[in-house]
Chain A
Amino acid sequence: MLRLHPSALDIVLLALYFLTVLGIGFFARRAVGTSADFLLAGRSLPAWITGLAFVSANLGATEILGMAANGAQYGVATVHYYWVGAVPAMVFLGIVMMPFYFRAKVRSVPEFLKVRFNNPTHVLNAVVFAISAVLIAGVNLYALAIVLQALLGINLYLGIVVSAAFVLAYIGAGGLSSAIYGEVLQFFIILAGLIPLSIAAVKNVGGFSALADKVTRTALGDNGLHAWKGTGVGAVDPNPIGANWIGIVLGLGFVLSFGYWTTNFAEVQRALSAKDLSAARRTPLIAAYPKLLIPAVTVIPGLVALVAIPDFGTSSGLTYNDAIPALMQRLLPSGVLGIAITGLFASFMAGVAANVSSLNTVVTYDLVQPYLRRNRSDSFYLRTGRLVTVVGIVIAVFTAILASHFNNIMVYLQSLFSIFNAPIFATFILGMFLRKTSAWGGFWGLLAGVVSGSATFFLFQTGVFSVASAIYATFIQAGVAFVVDIVVSLVVTAVTPKPDPAAIADIVWSRRNRASEPRDPVWWRRPVLLGGVVLALGVVLNVVFA
């Protein structure tokens, strides 16, 4: 990664941001009285706040830098990660799945599995999630420290520890409210840096048609400007993304994305912290609108970097991940540069905070309270939440240090855990829509999905299987985990006792449950309307950029 040279003013802008976030933590602390205040933000937040936090929690810098890198490497087809791989799942969460979480009166995603299936399923999901949350927090910390080191010359270990201490300070004080408020702030700061960057970048290469023309003359070719062209099965002139439309729609669009957006507690937690069911349903729907537009500030700079910087993406030049930092260095004057640097830090910070805040909720409410230390006072669980925050961040620091020595292993682990979203989603769908799925069916299906996903993953990693592109390999791994989960769940369901219909009547899909959902009196708050419009916009965008 290359060096930036921020001026004193830029550092001041960055410092102002850090002070503000510490202030958020300090003042949010006053609003923490119960464990629910700390871990769930009292379930009291308005939809616009939870909606922005929802999109922001996923807007970590690995996402921003990574999507720009993908834009340079794969071209316009990178938009699939947004328009196919995020928005439909977010809409599904808001319209279809939220009512299930609310009817089950659960405080976390794993808790739903406890209510619907049994304790072993609950524990399995909680433990898998907790490990992945710590892992991702650590990876974000490491990535943050790398940026600190490369861009500003700060020692790597110092960067890790100081960043961790900072996150600990504001999350440990104010809990989820701090995290969510930080994410709302982060949303605006990130855009404040990326929008000027993208505009200047496009102008720098002579405008959109000049950019398009130049992209066609790179290795991406004309297909690099198209999201769907060249994705026919066995296409003669394949799209640079290296997957066909089946892999894109079913793999990325369905299995991987639905798994992540509908069951990953770091995201769903933001929706569950909303003040009522209507706000919770609107949270991912509100988040979907900016999500549609983010590619404009990630993919476009990636393409500009590809055409404007000599030897970009080759072994003699910069790496793909350098796309946004390189453009920042070339285009931004001191001032906006400070804002853009602050945006990068803000997004890394939030990547750590979102995972730590969901970690402490799952460990406290899904492991400690039901199994390890039952029937204690609420202030005990509040203290537990704070303690888990500290321990979680310490473990994340060690994970980050491990990542610095074994970076490839960290990448493997991250990819591995993302595979698990697929079987978790399968188990949820079976639990919500198939009344007869038995408790042990849920457990064995989930376990089988996790194991088979891991096995497929390792078979690909060790080269036993291989396909054209890494993206396609991920689709296959997730697909295997998904299918195995469903098959094993159904088989085990057939030979184990059925669940008590009365116990689960409220939380599975039924016409009666569907009819009992309250109608929003205000037309522009209706989830179906909000969701329908954003899906329609997504379709339009897909057609325009096909």
Chain B
Amino acid sequence: MTDNGAGTDTGAQSSRITRLFDIRLIVGGLLTVYGVVLLVMSFWDSSEDIAKGAGIRLNLWTGIGLLVVGLGMLLWMRLAPLRAEPDRTGSAGGPAEPRA
């Protein structure tokens, strides 16, 4: 007898998976923070740091890249938010996903 995810069951518990937060917030948030930190750090990059990185300003470019991805993810979350579905008993309910 298999138990397919959310729904009614013996015992008092019911599924709470619909409360799961949006990971895009965390990923976007952390990457943005990292990006800002690296960008700020890059202003202090000494010439030997830059020479070490084969002449590329690694902190600067990585910071920019992380910022772009982080903000992009937050923007995606803004544009296509998770919508909480009404609880459906007996089915594998979960956060409604707008696409993909």
Q: Which residues of A contact B (CB under 8 A)?
A: 9, 13, 16-17, 20, 23-24, 27-28, 30-37, 40-49, 105-107, 111, 177, 181, 184-185, 188-189, 192, 195-196, 199-201, 203-204, 275-276, 330-336, 339, 377-380, 382, 525
Contact call A181/B23, Cβ cutoff below 8 A: yes
**Can you name the residue of chain A whose Cβ is closest to the Cβ of B5?**
A43
Contact of A31 among B14, B16, B58, B61 (CB under 8 A): B16
Q: How far is the CA of A181 from the CA of B17 in the complex (A)?
A: 13
| Best-surrounded residue of A336, A377, A378 (most CB of chain B within 10 A) | A336
7 pairs, CB–CB < 8 Å, chain A vs chain B: A34-B3, A34-B14, A44-B17, A192-B62, A200-B53, A332-B53, A379-B13
Q: Is B2 in contact with A106, judged by CB distance below 8 angstroms?
A: yes
Q: Which B residue sits closest to A382, measured CB to CB? A: B13
Question: Which B residues between 62 and 100 are near A, CB-CB below 8 angstroms?
Answer: 62-63, 65-66, 69, 92-95, 97, 100
- Give 9 nearest A-B pairs by CB, closest first: A44-B94, A42-B17, A33-B16, A377-B11, A333-B49, A203-B54, A31-B20, A43-B5, A204-B54
Contact B11 A379 (CB under 8 A): yes
A42 touching B37 by the CB < 8 A rule? Answer: no
CA distance A410 to B31 in the complex (A): 36
Collect the chain B residues with CB atoms within 8 Å of residue A203's CB: 54-56
Knowing A181-B23, A203-B54, the reply to whether A44 touches B92 (Cβ < 8 A) is yes
Q: Is B23 in contact with A335, judged by CB distance below 8 angstroms?
A: no
Q: Is the CB of A196 within 8 A of B58?
A: yes
Give the CA-CA distance A177 to B6 in the complex, in Å.
Answer: 14
Interchain nearest-CB distance for B9 vs A (Å): 4
Given A44-B92, A192-B34, A335-B37, decide whether A34 and B66 contact each other with a Cβ distance below 8 A.
no
Question: Could you tell me if A177 and B17 are in contact, using CB atoms closer than 8 angstroms?
Answer: yes
Besides A36-B3, A44-B95, A189-B30, 10 other A-B contacts (C-beta < 8 A): A9-B41, A16-B30, A34-B3, A36-B17, A42-B20, A42-B94, A192-B62, A201-B54, A333-B52, A380-B11
Complex: A35 Cα to B13 Cα, angstroms: 9
Residues of B within 8 A of A201 (CB): 54
What residues on B are CB-neighbors of A192 within 8 Å? 31, 34, 62, 65-66
Interface size on B, residues (CB 8 A): 51
| B92 contact from A42, A49, A525, Cβ within 8 A | A42
Q: Mark B1-44, 1 if CB is under 8 A from A, else 0.
A: 01111100111111111111101001100110110011001100
Whether B5 and A40, one on each chain, are in contact in the complex, defined by CB atoms closer than 8 angstroms, is yes
What's the minimum C-beta distance from A340 to chain B, rounded to whole angstroms? 10
Q: Are A275 and B27 in contact (CB under 8 A)?
A: no
In the docked arrangement, what's the CA distance between A473 and B6, Å?
A: 46
The answer to whether A49 touches B6, judged by C-beta atoms less than 8 angstroms apart, is: no
Q: Kindly provide the distance from the CB of A174 to the nearest chain B CB, expressed in whole angstroms.
A: 9
Q: Which residues from B are CB-within-8-Å of A196?
A: 53, 56, 58, 61-62
Known A13-B37, A16-B33, A48-B100; judge A42-B54 contact (CB<8 A): no
Q: Please, which residue of chain B has its CB at the minimum distance from the CB of A47?
A: B100
- Contact yes or no, A332 B15, CB < 8 A: no
Judge whether A17 and B38 touch: CB under 8 Å: no
A11 to B62, CA, bound (A): 17
Q: A47-B100, A196-B61, A333-B58 are in contact. Are A31 and B30 (CB under 8 A)?
A: no
Complex Cα distance, B25 from A23, in Å, reads 12
- A335-B56 contact in complex given A185-B27, A275-B97, C-beta closer than 8 Å: no
Whether the pair B26, A32 counts as a contact (CB closer than 8 A) is: no
Q: Which residues of A contact B97 (CB under 8 A)?
A: 46, 275
Q: Is the CB of A20 within 8 A of B16?
A: no
- State which of A28, A336, A378 has its C-beta within 8 Å of the C-beta of B13: A378
